[in-house]
Structure 1
Amino acid sequence: MAISQTDIDNLNEAIALGERSVSMSDGRRVEYRSVAELIMARDDLQRQLAASQQQRRRQVYLVQGGRGF
């Protein structure tokens, strides 16, 4: 399942309304046991989304050849 900002927004809306069931962007409906579980799921999705969007830093190595004058 690809994580999207829409999924996180749906979780935030459910938390704000005090609901325990959420529709995901792929059409599934998930029911959580408590609002605390919803918050944990949202935090986990936010971490996963941030990690997937993080770009790898490019490292450049400079090698100098020659006599060193």
Structure 2
Amino acid sequence: MAYTQKDLDAIEKAIAGSELEVQYGDKRIRFRSMDELERARDRIKLELNRAAGRRPKKIVRVRNAGKGLR
């Protein structure tokens, strides 16, 4: 699927509003979690950058397991 800036805008709007549903043209997609939505955003950014000939930025995700960190 070729992504567009509109697709990225829809994802970012959903993230900003803490919504899990995104409208793509005539389709509505419900994501299972905010994490899944953020991964979709990252993938769309990567694809848009590749299509524009830009080198992708490295994305580092850090998760706090909740133990041992103070």
What TM-score results when the alignment is normalised by the length of structure 2? 0.71
Output the aligned Cα RMSD: 1.3
Matches of 1:2 and 1:43, distance apart in 2: 14
Letter in 2 for 1:49: L
Unaligned 5+ segments in structure 1 are 56-69
2:42 — aligned with what?
Answer: 43
Letter in 2 for 1:48: E
Moved over 6 A (4+): none
**Equivalent residue pairs, number:** 54
Letter in 1 for 2:30: E
Letter in 1 for 2:17: L
Matches of 1:47 and 1:3, distance apart in 2: 10
Letter in 1 for 2:35: A
- Kindly report which structure 2 residues correspond to 1:7-46, keeping only aligned pairs within 5 A, or say none: 7-25=7-25, 27-46=26-45
What TM-score results when the alignment is normalised by the length of structure 1? 0.71
Letter in 1 for 2:16: A
Letter in 2 for 1:32: F
Unaligned 5+ segments in structure 2 are 55-70
